[in-house]
Amino acid sequence: MLALEVAMLSEMGGRKANEDACGHWHSVDELCCVLADGAGGHGGGGIAARLVVERMLQGFAAHPTTGSRQLTDLVFDTNRAVIDARVPDTERANMFSTVVGLVIDFVGHRVHWAHAGDSRLYWFRQGRLHTRTRDHSLVQSLVDAGLLPPDQARHHPQRSELRSALGTASDVLEVSDSGEPRVVEAGDVFLLCTDGLWEHVPDAVLESTLADSPSPSAWLAALEREITAATRQKTSHDNFTALTVWTAPVPA
């Protein structure tokens, strides 16, 4: 069995409202974490993000998933809920949201995930980046096609253009997942975050701040300081939200 410690951070940044959301729920043997970044204007993004987190966690609580295929099905169910919640001529008329969901079986030492959009999951092992999700975005498509160097993607002017997000018709919605459940080792660290965070914090800085942090909350505080420093000259930078899970052996 693994011991888990969770910490969360969600800030408005330079915006007038926070349209990100995150949350977690656990059963006797699994932890489910969900993070979402809404869009749609007039407050609709915030409604969508909160709906996504609530619907994903409720769905998991009702039927805990044991693999990424089931989690992907839950993402599609949540997508239908976002579409059904739209109301013409209101702030809900055109709402969308990214999503990333992580499930850790802390008894069986297994992990699986699913995501849509450009909110990310990072997995660190022994302090080094082990795995990261790939964005469903125009810029990621350019990188994959060899048309854009990876080091230019973070600040590309079209970086925010998504290929997939909840609120899209199910027949064109793109959801990626982890495939077969993977083995978690004690000491592994997971980070779910919105683009408002990873845009300003390169992978190397994620690793260095993680190495210098004694706890999950201390790490998120360090990441917030990095964003504050990086956006000091920007008047309207994005909301930023993060949820981290640190694993450890259960004390004897």
Summarize pLDDT for 6-22 with one digit per residue, the tens: 999 998 766 777 899 99
- Quick check: 34 pLDDT over 70? yes
Q: What percent of the chain has pLDDT over 70?
A: 96
Look up residue 205 and give its two tokens. 């800085």
Provide the whole-model pTM.
0.93
Q: Is residue 95 part of a domain?
A: yes
pLDDT digit string, tens, across residues 93-139: 889 999 999 999 999 999 999 999 999 999 999 999 999 999 998 88
Q: Is residue 142 part of a domain?
A: yes
Q: What is the CATH number of the domain that holds 101?
A: 3.60.40.10
The pLDDT assigned to 252 comes to 67
Q: Is residue 145 part of a domain?
A: yes
Among residues 23, 44, 27, 153, the alpha carbon closest in space to that of 36 is found at 23
User: CA-to-CA distance for 177 and 136, rounded, in angstroms?
Assistant: 12
pLDDT digit string, tens, across residues 68-91: 999 999 999 999 999 999 888 888
Q: Is residue 137 part of a domain?
A: yes
Q: Is residue 83 part of a domain?
A: yes
Q: Could you give the number of structural domains in the chain?
A: 1
The residue range of the domain holding 99 is 2-247
Q: Is 95 helix (H, G, I), strand (E, B) or coil?
A: coil
User: CA-to-CA distance for 24 and 46, rounded, in angstroms?
Assistant: 18
Q: Is residue 12 part of a domain?
A: yes
- Quick check: 144 pLDDT over 80? no
